[in-house]
Amino acid sequence: MYDAIILAGGENNEHLNRYTAQPYEALIDIAGKPMVEYVAKALATSSHVSRIFVAGPAEELGKCSFPEKAVILNGGQTIMETISLGMKALGHENLTLVVTADIPLLTAAAIDDFLSQCASVDADVYYPVIAQCDHERRFPGNKRTYVRLKEGTFTGGNIFLVNPRIVPQCVQVAERIIANRKNPVRLCFLLGWNFVVKFIVGSLKLAQVEARVSDILRIKGAVIRSPYAELGIDVDKPSDLELVRICFAQTAN
């Protein structure tokens, strides 16, 4: 069993301000509920998840309806600061699930598949990628940020399995990676010129990215290929908001 931390402190961005008055992304209304509630419910339903820590604006989150196993924490000023605060609240250094609050289509099946695959690999950080073909099959027409690699074209997920002991040493570099997560070219520059060239010509391999990131962060990373496109649908632009609202409307009908 794993404890989980939901990162719920992100402020609403300029792209969504015109569509919702909520100051925090986690509290954006989806079918009558703040979307963070759907994330918490999926985690609570998973057979692999124990406690759930929801880190963000504690007063506002206190008005939400969370599962009994959920604990609300005050978040930090940045993603990595919030992760650090959540890790301190755990009271242990076991592998911990870190999930963003803006993936309301998350399911227990997607979580369980990810964690089951992680169990067969020894690493400090596990990160999912979804093939473009899998994503477009599940959500045709949805625009994502893709990276073309030797094995295919992939988009990233928004769920991570992390060893709490490595967090302090990774804060600065991880902040830079997070800041450029939507820009594949800039990410390659962080990895080095050799990666830029390989990325441009399409010869960069998943294993090479995995090894290079591990070297930079001084940890052991593992890329997990997930068939669940729900892991990649983060609500950060109007088209994403419309998509998830349509999905829930269809479910209700």
pLDDT at position 55: 94
Contact in structure between 164 and 96 (CB atoms under 8 Å): yes
pLDDT, tens digit (0-9, with 9 covering 90-100), for 105-149? 999 999 999 999 999 999 998 999 999 999 999 999 888 888 888
Collapsing DSSP to helix, strand or coil, 47 comes out as coil
Answer whether residue 185 shows pLDDT above 90. Answer: no
Answer whether residue 192 shows pLDDT above 70. Answer: no
Look at domain 2-252 and name its CATH class. Answer: alpha beta
Which amino acid is it at 204? L
Backbone angles phi, psi at 81, to 5 degrees: -65, -40
Alpha helices for the chain (secondary structure H): 35-45, 58-61, 79-90, 108-118, 132-138, 167-179, 184-191, 193-201, 206-217, 238-252
- Under the banding of pLDDT at 50, 70 and 90, the label for residue 249 is confident
pLDDT, tens digit (0-9, with 9 covering 90-100), for 39-94? 999 999 999 999 999 999 999 999 999 998 899 999 888 888 888 898 899 988 89
Contact in structure between 35 and 22 (CB atoms under 8 Å): no
Domain chopping of the chain, boundaries: 2-252
DSSP state of 236: -
Burial 161-190, CB ≥16 within 10 A → b, else e: bbbbebbeebeeebeebeeeeeebeebbeb
Distance CA 180, CA 135 (A): 21
What residues have CB less than 8 Å from 251, skipping those under 6 apart?
none
pLDDT at position 43: 97
